[in-house]
Chains A and B, each alone.
Chain A
Amino acid sequence: MKNLKQTKKRMILNEIKTSFPSKSINESMSRIIISSILCQLDPTLDELADIKTAVSEAVTNSIVHGYENNPGGEIKLYACYYDDNTIKIIIKDKGKGIEDIKKAMQPLYTTDESGERSGMGFPIMQSFTDKIRVISTPGKGATVIFEKKISRE
């Protein structure tokens, strides 16, 4: 009886694993990497822009906050898509981590004092994806996982 209610497990159709140094020039590279796998799902221009923006935000967070603009850190970018047309993306760093995730996700919240950061990174990621999860151990790094279902039109 137990098995009757189980939903069918989705299958990974394709995936990519990359890693690159925490140099700001790699923000645009991460957008190109994610576009190339996402394009296999034939997304709309808006869906493509949503994902590119969310990835750009997460990678920028790792560079600016995780590694505090030190270009020697490592950022891992993993992406896969499933047979239900959902893309899943994981961005991971081993930087200083996030002390208070709830606070970090609040709109307009920023730890930056220069007045040049908008504090909209996480709210933009939330608004442009279907699901987002942030895991962090202060001092050990942060991982952002998000998913978005791509329409099949």
Chain B
Amino acid sequence: MEIISQFRDGVLYIKLSGDIDHHSAKSVRGDVDSLIRKNNPVELELDLSAVEFMDSSGLGLVLGRYKKQTDTGGKMRIINPTRRVLQILQLAGVEKIIKIERMRQV
């Protein structure tokens, strides 16, 4: 699991890649949360275009970050999920609560 991040104008962009399961979610959560603490972003952008596998633990990771962001008055959006990841997000109705941007040029 590799994480690329960039902070600019209050927006924290984080790109996750590889597999997100219960095992990898632990370290990803720690890394993402420390980036959020450090930058205190107005908006969190989670780029899921390079995620090769994601199950309900990844879903928990996404929803947990959304809760943290909105609890502190921030916003969050999901960028370019792969078709499989989008399918998992939609199964849980995530698109009804978190904005999903599918055609973003990054």
Give chain A's interface residues, CB within 8 Å of chain B.
Answer: 24-25, 27-28, 31, 46, 49, 52-53, 56-57, 60, 63-64, 107-108, 114-121, 123-124, 127
B60 close to chain A: CB less than 8 A: yes
Whether B91 contacts A123 by the Cβ 8 Å rule is: yes
Q: How far is the CA of A39 from the CA of B59 in the complex (A)?
A: 27
Task: Point out the residues of chain B lying under 8 angstroms from A53, CB to CB.
Answer: 53, 55, 88
Interface string of B14-39 (1 = CB under 8 A from A): 00000101111110010000000000
**Chain B, 23-81, CB within 8 A of any chain A CB:** 23-26, 29, 53, 55-57, 59-61, 63-64, 67
Tell me, in angstroms, the Cα distance from A120 to B60 when the chains sit together.
Answer: 9
Q: Of B61, B63, B67, B88, which is within 8 A of A124 by CB? A: B88
Contacting residues, chain B, for A121 (C-beta < 8 A): 55-56
Chain A residue numbers with a CB within 8 Å of B23 are 24-25, 27-28
Alpha-carbon gap, A28 to B63, bound state (A): 22
Binding site for A on B (CB under 8 A): 19, 21-26, 29, 53, 55-57, 59-61, 63-64, 67, 84, 88, 91-92
Known: A115-B67, A118-B60. A124 touches B22 (CB 8 A): no
Q: Which 6 A-B pairs have the closest CB atoms?
A: A24-B23, A118-B59, A120-B56, A118-B60, A60-B22, A116-B64
Nearest Cβ distance between residue A124 and chain B, in whole angstroms? Answer: 5
CA distance A52 to B55 in the complex (A): 9
Say yes or no: A120 contacts B59, CB within 8 Å. Answer: yes
User: How many angstroms between the C-alpha atoms of A56 and B42 in the bound complex?
Assistant: 34
Pairwise interchain contact A124-B91, C-beta atoms closer than 8 A: yes
**Contact status of A57 and B60, CB under 8 A, knowing A27-B22, A120-B91, A127-B91:** no
Question: Considering the chains assembled together, what is the distance between the CA atoms of A9 and B72 in angstroms?
Answer: 60
**Shortest Cβ distance from B88 into A: residue:** A124
Q: Can you show 9 pairs from A to B with CB atoms below 8 A apart? A: A24-B21, A24-B23, A60-B55, A60-B56, A116-B61, A117-B56, A118-B57, A121-B55, A124-B55
